[in-house]
Amino acid sequence: MRSVAVGGGHLAYFAIKALEEMDPNGKIIVIEFTSEKVEMLKKTFPFAEAVLLSIEEVEDYVSGNRFLIDVLVSATDSDALNLRYAKHAIKSGVPIVIAILNNPLNEPIFVKEGVKYVINPYKTITSKIKEVVGKFRVNVVYEFSKVDGGIYALKVENSKTLRKVKSFILKNDSPFFVLSADKRIRTCSVEDIQIGDVVYISCHDREVRGLLKRMGG
């Protein structure tokens, strides 16, 4: 498939690597705005085509190639530019448009503007710190991109929380597994969940929101 990445910096690096990994036989085009950066990209990504365009030419490029581009990733160091390019690509009919955020505070703005796939690389910071330190009630471990839901870690500290978690799982028939205090990863029945376990539940966002609120998440 034909993938276009706008930006060749820090954020784009990982996006381009992922695209190449997914489809080694595909066509990857990376757009940058200065000739020095384009030369650098040619060395860093020999499998990709590095293209020099001005800020305004990118939109014309996308419009002109809208029947061919399968994926567009906007990963410049400016969220304003990423939003602009993402909206233009969506309007041009590019099927998969992904924007990578520099500032996580822009996530609701991107979503409101109709950009469905927004990557906030900083969400991992919060969940990892909570996981490592271990002092949490609720931890959002992963959020799905195409479905409103994810994987949530719930720490069972006392009998009250244990009751809430068990009742939630039974009511919503949510799949789950447990990381017990002795660091065993296990699947078990709801009855076998114990105080001290961390329960990883996968469910829809709307199902878990009430529980997260009650548990102080």
Partner 1 sequence: MRIALAALSIALAIFFGSKLGNLIMRNLSKFGRSFASKLAEIVKYFLIILGVVVAFSILSLDVIVLTGVSIGIFIVLLVSLRDVFSNYAGEIYLRVRRPFDEGDFIKIGRISGRVVSINSQDVELVSVKGERIVVPNQFFLKYPVVNVSSTTPSSIELKVIFKDVVPEEARKMVMETLNEIRPELFEEPKIVSISTKNGKTEVDLSLSVVNQQKTRWLIGRLSKGLYDRGVEVEIE
Partner 2 sequence: MDVSVVFPSRNREKYVRRAVRTAFKARHVKEVIVVDGGSSDKTVDVALKEGAKVIVQSNLVYPGKGVAMRDGAYLSSGDVVVFVDIDIANLTPQFIEKLYAPIMRGEAEFVKGCYERAAGRVTELVAKPLLRMFYPELAKFKQPLSGEIAGLRKVFYQVEFESGWGVDVGLLIDLYKRGVKIAEVNLGFKEHDMKPLNALTDMAYQVAEAILKRAIRDGKIDELWAREYISTIGKMDLGEVGFA
Task: Give the residues lining the site for partner 1 (CB under 8 A).
Answer: 1-2, 23, 25-27, 66-71, 90-97, 114, 116, 146
Is 140 among the residues that bind partner 2 (CB under 8 A)? no
CB 200 within 8 A of CB 215: no
Partner whose binding site includes residue 106, from partner 1, partner 2, none (CB under 5 to 8 Å by kind):
partner 2
CB 31 within 8 A of CB 15: no
Closest CA to 118 of 90, 138, 141: 90
CB of 20 to partner 1, least distance (A): 12
Partner whose binding site includes residue 91, from partner 1, partner 2, none (CB under 5 to 8 Å by kind):
partner 1
Partner whose binding site includes residue 123, from partner 2, partner 1, none (CB under 5 to 8 Å by kind):
none
Q: Collapsing DSSP states into helix, strand and coil, what is residue 67?
A: coil
**β 27-32/96-100 pair status:** unpaired
CB of 78 to partner 2, least distance (A): 5
Is 32 among the residues that bind partner 2 (CB under 8 A)? no
- DSSP string across 78-135: -HHHHHHHHHHHHHHT-SEEEEE-SSGGGHHHHHHTT--EEE-TTHHHHHHHHHHH--
Nearer to partner 1, 67 or 132 (CB): 67
Partner whose binding site includes residue 23, from partner 1, partner 2, none (CB under 5 to 8 Å by kind):
partner 1
CB of 183 to partner 1, least distance (A): 37
Closest CA to 177 of 200, 195, 208, 157: 200
Interacting residues toward partner 2 by CB under 8 A: 54-56, 77-81, 83-84, 102-103, 105-106, 109
